[in-house]
Structure 1
Amino acid sequence: MTNLEKPVGGAVNMLTFDIEEWFHANYDDIAPPTGKGSNFRANMDTLLQMCRETNSKATFFVLGCIGEDYPDVVKAIARDGHDVASHGYGHQLAYSQTIDEFRDDVKKSVDILENLTGTKVLGYRAPSWSIVERNLHYLEALEELGLKYDASIFPVKTFLYGIPGAPTVIHKPRVNGRELDLYEVPMSVMKLAGRNIGYSGGFYFRFFPKLFIDYAIRSANRQGNSSIVYLHPREIDTTEHKLSLPPKERFIHYYNVGGTRSKLEQIMRSFHFTSISDHLLRNFKLELADR
């Protein structure tokens, strides 16, 4: 089997959500506020209802601290048949941690989530896409913990994150000269003016019009490739609290939140979405006897 693997079946799209509070962010000199409530539980109810109404399954990358604060929400995600995966414990950047701190952080979150759901956690996504070239070897820690996939790599270059030369298809990465027993599920990109650019998650999802996202997903599917959508609960709610950010960061963090819920619903009705784990099981012959 080659390092860059092709799906056994046809193209399928994946729906993912990063489950965190409105104040979980990684901007310098921005301290998390205290003493404020949130619309988190209501926004999660909305996302789960949208999945039911569109017959969509998704992967929910959940912070361990969310599991502690909202155990009923995590149980509801699992009860609806979705993939509960790890987003770390407290939204710390992976590249700001030592590998031992990273391993302990992921394990702590995995233990919390598994105790809540009674099922094995299979995957991980780093906060703010913080698996980059200099800490790519941290994927070995995920393999040691028994995880089956990582979804932390964004094949773009921004001032915050990205590995622009990373493979853009699902593959088993090579680290320290060997192929890991772990799938990498990179975020979807398309070529624009010779550069990779995201189109189906976070700021990109909020920035681009629905017709463009629809075109990009269909174009990827015609080529036999999958697209991944990702959003945060705060991105569907104009009334949620907001961080006090400098202009550029505020634009990236909050642009067009008012149009996101409707756009997401339209995209969910236009395509069939499944979770990452189900996609790997069905299309990559992933063996999960202990799932």
Structure 2
Amino acid sequence: MHAAPPIRNALTIDVEDYFQVSAFAPYIRRDEWDSRPCRVECNVERILAMLDQHQQTRATFFTLGWVAERYPGLVHRIVAQGHELASHGYGHERASDLTPEAFSQDIERAKKTLEDISGTAVQGYRAPSFSIGKRNLWAFDCLARAGYRYSSSVYPIRHDHYGMPDSPRFAYETREGLIEIPVTTLRVLNHNLPSSGGGYFRLLPYAVSRWMLRQVNQQDRASAVFYFHPWEIDEAQPRVAGIDAKTRFRHYVNIGKMAHRLERLLGDFQWGRMDDIFLRPAAARAS
């Protein structure tokens, strides 16, 4: 009896700079962004090199239009190295903070910006801070009209800033021609546990994160969706002054360990692009 082939998981990077994090919005005004020292380009370059060294692992880069306009060469390098370019919106505004009209303008502007710079079609979108929930499901209508084929904007957990714990844990069609691919959770005792990266990956021991991802692969026989940010590997990033203790802890906890943990993660699992894993027919994926 042959063992089941290993499952390929989706590796995703939310391309934004440290000062654009939603939790810093009360402390850093948008009109200050251009005066801040940008570190996103060098951090993404580190990630590209890391992926290339691990059997040329491919990933999906959910990229802000704001970043793409300022670093078009970085966008070209992402695409040239075989990665998927997807949208993180234009200006890192939470979908839950926008009207339907403003949200449509943001996602359409981001898609056009990324496509014009890269010369490739942009099929995927991730809302900043996973900000699609029960109160703004209209966002899926906007995404479908804008021509996106998938979203990865729902986190089916309870969280003080986001989350829709009763939503499906795995990919589902939310509008005709548009699927939602939630970031990964592990079901334990009727609760969804966050198992897909971000601050939880930095906070928890690596062995716990690895175990959770393996459970999803082995028990659910499903591909996991893992995410992180370029600033999470940047121990030397400027420290933002005046932030509250909770925000400080969430942003900076174990940043110095992140790069090493990612190296281990890349070696312990098989990874690929969102579009290859979730959009291509099964026969094509197997070839």
Task: Indicate conservation of the 8 Å contact 1:93/1:126, yes or no.
Answer: yes
What SS does the aligned partner of 2:137 have? helix
Task: Indicate conservation of the 8 Å contact 1:99/1:141, yes or no.
Answer: yes
Task: Indicate conservation of the 8 Å contact 1:38/1:240, yes or no.
Answer: no
Task: Indicate conservation of the 8 Å contact 1:78/1:84, yes or no.
Answer: yes
Counting only pairs closer than 5 Å after superposition, residues 1-291 of structure 1 correspond to structure 2 as 11-27=7-23, 29-32=26-29, 33-34=32-33, 35-54=35-54, 55-173=56-174, 179-223=175-219, 224-244=221-241, 245-283=243-281
Q: Which amino acid aligns with 1:219?
A: Q
Task: Indicate conservation of the 8 Å contact 1:121/1:147, yes or no.
Answer: yes
Task: Indicate conservation of the 8 Å contact 1:38/1:241, yes or no.
Answer: no
Instruction: Kindly provide the CA deviation profile for residues 14-63 of structure 1, in whole angstroms up to 9, marking residues without a partner as x.
Output: 10000011101223522244533132222111100111111211110000
How far is 1:10 from its partner?
Answer: 7.1
- 2:115 and 2:36 map into 1 onto residues whose CA distance is 29
Q: Which amino acid aligns with 2:52?
A: R
Task: Indicate conservation of the 8 Å contact 2:15/2:40, yes or no.
Answer: no
- 1:43 and 1:10 map into 2 onto residues whose CA distance is 30
How far is 1:181 from its partner?
Answer: 1.6
Q: Which runs of 4+ in 1 moved over 3 A?
A: 281-286
Q: Report the equivalent of 1:6.
A: none
What SS does the aligned partner of 2:82 have? coil
Task: Indicate conservation of the 8 Å contact 1:23/1:242, yes or no.
Answer: no
Task: Indicate conservation of the 8 Å contact 1:63/1:90, yes or no.
Answer: yes
- 2:113 and 2:149 map into 1 onto residues whose CA distance is 18
- 1:283 and 1:157 map into 2 onto residues whose CA distance is 32
Distance 1:212 1:51, change over 3 A: same
Q: What is the percent sequence identity of the aligned residues?
A: 34
Q: Which amino acid aligns with 2:200?
A: Y
Distance 1:242 1:214, change over 3 A: same
Task: Indicate conservation of the 8 Å contact 2:6/2:270, yes or no.
Answer: no
Instruction: Kindly provide the CA deviation profile for residues 136-187 of structure 1, in whole angstroms up to 9, marking residues without a partner as x.
Output: 12111111111110000000111100001010011102xxxxx432111001
Q: Which amino acid aligns with 2:88?
A: H
Q: Report the equivalent of 1:5.
A: none
How far is 1:282 from its partner?
Answer: 3.6
How far is 1:217 from its partner?
Answer: 1.3
How far is 1:192 from its partner?
Answer: 4.2
- Using the size of structure 1 for normalisation, the TM-score is 0.89
- 1:148 and 1:69 map into 2 onto residues whose CA distance is 26
Q: Report the equivalent of 1:4.
A: none
What SS does the aligned partner of 1:262 have? helix
Between the two proteins, the alignment pairs up a number of residues equal to 273
Instruction: Kindly provide the CA deviation profile for residues 107-146 of structure 1, in whole angstroms up to 9, marking residues without a partner as x.
Output: 1011110011111100000001111110012111111111
- 2:49 and 2:15 map into 1 onto residues whose CA distance is 16
Q: Which has the higher helix share?
A: 2
- Using the size of structure 2 for normalisation, the TM-score is 0.90
Query: Any stretches of 5+ residues in structure 2 without a counterpart?
Result: none
- 1:130 and 1:284 map into 2 onto residues whose CA distance is 30
- 1:140 and 1:274 map into 2 onto residues whose CA distance is 27
- 2:98 and 2:63 map into 1 onto residues whose CA distance is 19
Q: Which amino acid aligns with 2:257?
A: G
Query: Any stretches of 5+ residues in structure 1 without a counterpart?
Result: 1-8, 174-178, 287-291
Task: Indicate conservation of the 8 Å contact 2:64/2:89, yes or no.
Answer: yes
Segment of structure 1 superposing worse, 240-249 or 181-190:
240-249
Instruction: Kindly provide the CA deviation profile for residues 195-233 of structure 1, in whole angstroms up to 9, marking residues without a partner as x.
Output: 212122111111111111111111111121111111111
What SS does the aligned partner of 1:88 have? coil
